[in-house]
């Protein structure tokens, strides 16, 4: 089949592109390369350097032949930045998503997979683990912008028959087990690569934001899902939306604290991780763990890399082979 992937030069998008290619599909990528990397797009995929704010340019790409589906990853994605500049996040993520969905409807595309987020669940009354039926109460403009696109997709289905899968990720991590892709954010904000860089002496001591949470060791707890497992879930979701739209929470279903991440990196690397305590960050909940029961039961999905050490191993291998990321 033939798929369009927006944000296919980014961390998650590039791994999904690999998964689609590995299963024999043709892939075309749209990315403005503002945060993605040209080198992250496999040579077997065609890249259009297009900004989704330009609806005419998006429509021009979609007019180029038959499409069996669109997978949408392109977005501003830093929670902290969205708290500092809320209107930028609300405007850009909403308009780019709306432009893409509108173009899909205009070109008769019937399947759409959306990269949503666990940031939809921001209230203190969240259950543990969090099912899809939990109260939607975004704790940041970033989370709000993602929910706005979920609602756009709801109406695109109800009125135009565009079936969609909204996959609400928890914490994507790791790297392609074959070493073809990895994590390279500029700047890096994710805990596992930051911890690895601290262990390798590539950055100063790691700052641990909050050590007084109501958790077992006082540190935040997060559900880490390997990016290859996440990509597999997208392939399975595409099959589900042949008949109906679906929404899935996507995580391993087990939480690891920030301190447990440090311990894992130390075990896997054989190095000490220098770190220091820092104040809590605004908007950081103590606990975020997914209930992925619906995804597992409806698609047969199960993580192949469910252990934190396995996730860290692939991330460390990528970083050691590519110390300067895609600049290598």
Average pLDDT, integer, range 80-95? 95
pTM of the predicted protein model: 0.96
**What backbone phi and psi angles, to 5 degrees, belong to 202?**
-95, -5
pLDDT score of 195 more than 90? yes
Q: Where are the domains of the chain?
A: 2-173+226-250, 191-222+254-290+305-327
Q: Which CATH architecture has domain 191-222+254-290+305-327?
A: Alpha-Beta Complex (3.90)
Beta carbons within 8 Å of 311's beta carbon, 6+ residues apart? 173, 174, 192, 224, 226, 305
Confidence of residue 65 (pLDDT cuts 50, 70, 90): confident
CATH class of 2-173+226-250: alpha beta
Query: What is the Cα Rg of the chain in Å?
Result: 19
Confidence of residue 138 (pLDDT cuts 50, 70, 90): very high
Strands (E), the chain: 2-6, 26-30, 46-48, 69-72, 111-117, 163-169, 171-173, 206-209, 221-226, 246-250, 255-257, 275-278, 287-288
Handedness of CA 125, 113, 57, 29 (dihedral sign): positive
User: Catalytic positions, please?
Assistant: 142
Average pLDDT, integer, range 177-187? 95
């Amino acid at each position: 089949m033939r798929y369009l992937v927006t944000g296919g030069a980014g961390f998650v998008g590039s791994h999904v592109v690999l998964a689609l290619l590995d299963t024999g599909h043709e892939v075309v990528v749209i990315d403005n390369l503002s945060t993605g990397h040209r080198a992250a797009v496999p040579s077997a995929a065609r890249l259009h350097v297009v900004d989704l704010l330009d609806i005419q340019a998006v429509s021009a790409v979609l007019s180029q032949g038959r499409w069996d589906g669109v997978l949408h990853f392109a977005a501003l994605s830093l929670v902290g930045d969205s708290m500092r500049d809320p209107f930028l996040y609300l405007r850009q993520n909403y308009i780019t998503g709306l432009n893409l969905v509108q173009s899909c409807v205009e070109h008769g595309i019937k399947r759409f997979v959306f990269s949503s987020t666990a940031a939809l669940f921001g209230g203190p009354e969240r259950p543990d683990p969090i099912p899809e039926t939990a109260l939607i109460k975004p704790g940041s403009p970033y989370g709000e912008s993602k929910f706005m696109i979920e609602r756009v997709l709801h109406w695109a289905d109800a009125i135009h028959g565009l079936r969609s899968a909204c996959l609400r990720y928890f914490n994507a991590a790791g790297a392609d087990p074959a070493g073809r892709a990895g994590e390279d954010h500029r700047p890096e904000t994710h805990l596992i690569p930051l911890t690895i860089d601290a262990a390798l002496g590539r950055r100063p001591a790691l700052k641990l934001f909050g050590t007084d949470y109501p958790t077992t060791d006082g540190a935040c707890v997060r559900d880490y899902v390997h990016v290859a497992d996440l990509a597999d879930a997208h392939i399975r979701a595409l099959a589900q939306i042949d008949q109906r739209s679906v929404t899935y929470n996507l995580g391993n279903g087990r939480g690891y604290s920030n301190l447990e991440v440090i311990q894992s990196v130390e075990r896997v690397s054989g190095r000490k991780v220098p770190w220091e305590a820092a104040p809590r960050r605004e908007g950081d909940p103590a606990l975020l763990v997914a209930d992925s029961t619906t995804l597992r039961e409806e698609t047969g999905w199960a993580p192949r890399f469910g252990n934190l050490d396995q996730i860290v191993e692939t991330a460390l291998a990528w970083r050691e082979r590519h110390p300067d990321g895609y600049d290598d």
